[in-house]
């Protein structure tokens, strides 16, 4: 066998081994320049069949149409293998890079501490702010809703379908429904007082317009918490598969609740104070500070613009520390109110 033939074959094998070594080393060590080294490795790999073909067919030739040259024989094989191999290798390299990035992000997510829901404030405290030079106040009350007593009107954040939440949902709606129900000595509900009255008011309607306010009695809350009325405001809209979201103009809900207290049929109730939760906060569809700003400023504007309004004190319920700080920040930043002197020391709900 011709020694030149053997030499060409040995060179071909050596070049193939070098190309494969560079390629696998590049991918195993995550080289800084994977694309450039991949091109070089496949250039060497593609030379292997070229040398083999030339060894067996030394008369192979090339003539031109590709960039002026028509490729045939070994030259054509070289360009075909180099182009196809490089293209596939680069695609694989990119896929490996993306897969590595995904694994890295997954490790980062697993290493992060699990997000915990904000804990409910156990201490009952209140901060009051006087509106202008009037005797009206806007304030914030912390803690569980069931611990607040002495406020005439509780506002219930309801959906536009006027469907109250189940008793143990943990929502404002569910809490009001349960606390207002008539129960036996074991706490079992005997009569869904507020839920039934709201259903009767709805009268079979599928839904009501956003910001609609429906007024019911307080049920057992009248005896246990001295609440006179429950104002159910359509503050959230439901959507199949997407859940609930706050209505577009959430501040209008506050305005309409305060305006509803002026209704002639409520004169005999002598409504002076109102407790409003952070409407729509449970949906987590809007930033908390943005929500608090719109709701609280709506109350401030109404009290300032309506000198003879019946409601003299409006309180916003902050169940968690983030809600408390969001409400307090809005009140402290407002130029329309100033903190009442007694607020800092008060740790009980306001009395009528």
Instruction: Indicate which CATH number applies to the domain containing 179.
Output: 3.40.220.10
Listed residues 53, 79, 111: the one ending a domain: 111
Q: Do both 163 and 100 map to the same domain?
A: no
Q: Do both 336 and 192 map to the same domain?
A: yes
Percent of the chain with pLDDT over 70: 69
Are 276 and 299 within 8 A, CB to CB? yes
Pairwise pLDDT comparison (262 vs 22), residue with the higher score? 262
Structural domain of 279 = 126-345
Listed residues 66, 82, 111: the one ending a domain: 111
Helices (H), the chain: 3-29, 34-56, 73-111, 172-180, 193-202, 221-224, 250-260, 288-305, 321-333
Both structure tokens of 40: 């070089």
Q: Which residues contact 225 (CB under 8 A, 6 or more apart)?
A: 146, 148, 149, 150, 179, 218
The pTM of the full predicted model, rounded to 2 decimals, is: 0.66
List, for residues 201-238, the tens digit of each pLDDT value: 999 888 899 999 999 999 999 999 999 999 999 999 87
Residue 24 resides in a domain: yes
At 8, is the pLDDT very low, low, confident or very high (cuts 50, 70, 90)?
Answer: low
Residue 207 resides in a domain: yes
| Host H or E run for residue 140 | strand 137-142
Q: Do both 281 and 140 map to the same domain?
A: yes
Residue 116 resides in a domain: no
Q: Do both 229 and 269 map to the same domain?
A: yes
Listed residues 61, 87, 111: the one ending a domain: 111
Residue 31 and residue 34: Cα distance in Å, rounded?
5
In eight-state DSSP terms, residue 189 is E
Long-range contacts of 164-172 (CB under 8 A, 24+ apart): 164/194, 164/195, 164/198, 171/282, 172/145, 172/277, 172/282, 172/317
Instruction: Tell which residue, 170, 213, 222, has the closest CA to residue 194.
Output: 222
Q: Do both 20 and 92 map to the same domain?
A: yes
List, for residues 89-127, the tens digit of each pLDDT value: 666 667 767 777 888 888 777 776 655 666 778 888 899
Residue 121 resides in a domain: no
List, for residues 288-301, the tens digit of each pLDDT value: 999 999 999 999 99
Residue 233 resides in a domain: yes
Q: Do both 88 and 164 map to the same domain?
A: no
3-state secondary structure of 273: strand
Long-range contacts of 247-250 (CB under 8 A, 24+ apart): 247/160, 247/210, 247/211, 247/280, 248/210, 249/210, 249/211, 250/279, 250/280, 250/286, 250/291, 250/294, 250/295
Residue holding tokens 């506050």? Answer: 254
Residue 161 resides in a domain: yes
Q: Do both 84 and 192 map to the same domain?
A: no
Residue 40 resides in a domain: yes
Instruction: Tell which residue, 123, 315, 158, has the closest CA to residue 236.
Output: 158
Q: Do both 302 and 165 map to the same domain?
A: yes
Q: Do both 245 and 328 map to the same domain?
A: yes
């Amino acid at each position: 066998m011709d020694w030149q033939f053997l030499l060409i074959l040995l060179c071909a094998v050596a070049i193939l081994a070098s190309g494969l070594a560079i390629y696998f080393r590049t991918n195993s060590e995550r080289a800084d320049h994977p694309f450039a080294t991949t091109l070089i490795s496949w250039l060497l790999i593609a030379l292997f069949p070229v040398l083999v073909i030339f060894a067996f067919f030394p008369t192979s030739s090339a003539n031109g149409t590709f960039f002026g040259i028509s490729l045939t024989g070994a030259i054509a094989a070289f360009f075909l293998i180099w182009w196809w191999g490089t293209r596939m290798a680069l695609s694989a390299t990119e896929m490996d890079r993306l897969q590595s990035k995904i694994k890295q992000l997954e490790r980062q997510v697993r290493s992060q501490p699990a997000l915990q829901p904000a804990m409910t404030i156990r201490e009952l405290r209140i901060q009051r702010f006087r509106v202008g030079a009037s005797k009206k106040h806007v304030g914030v009350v912390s803690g569980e809703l069931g611990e607040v007593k002495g406020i005439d009107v509780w506002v219930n954040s309801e959906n536009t379908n006027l469907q109250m939440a189940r008793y143990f949902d943990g929502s404002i709606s569910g809490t009001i429904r349960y606390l207002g129900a008539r129960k036996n000595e074991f706490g079992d509900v005997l009569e869904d007082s507020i839920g039934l009255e709201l259903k009767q008011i709805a009268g079979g309607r599928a839904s009501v317009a956003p910001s609609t306010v429906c007024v019911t009695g307080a049920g057992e809350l009248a005896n246990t918490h001295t609440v006179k009325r429950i104002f159910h405001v359509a503050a959230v809209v439901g959507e199949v598969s997407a859940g609930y979201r706050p209505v577009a103009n959430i501040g209008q809900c506050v305005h309409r609740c305060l305006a509803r207290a002026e209704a002639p049929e409520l004169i005999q109730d002598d409504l002076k104070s109102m407790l409003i939760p952070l409407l729509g906060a449970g949906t987590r569809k809007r930033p908390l500070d943005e929500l608090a700003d719109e709701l609280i400023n709506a109350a401030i504007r109404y009290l300032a613009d309506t000198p003879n309004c019946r409601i003299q004190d409006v309180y916003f319920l902050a169940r968690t520390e983030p809600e408390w700080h969001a409400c307090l920040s809005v009140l402290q930043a407002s130029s329309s109110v100033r903190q009442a002197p007694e607020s800092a020391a008060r740790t009980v709900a306001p009395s009528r």
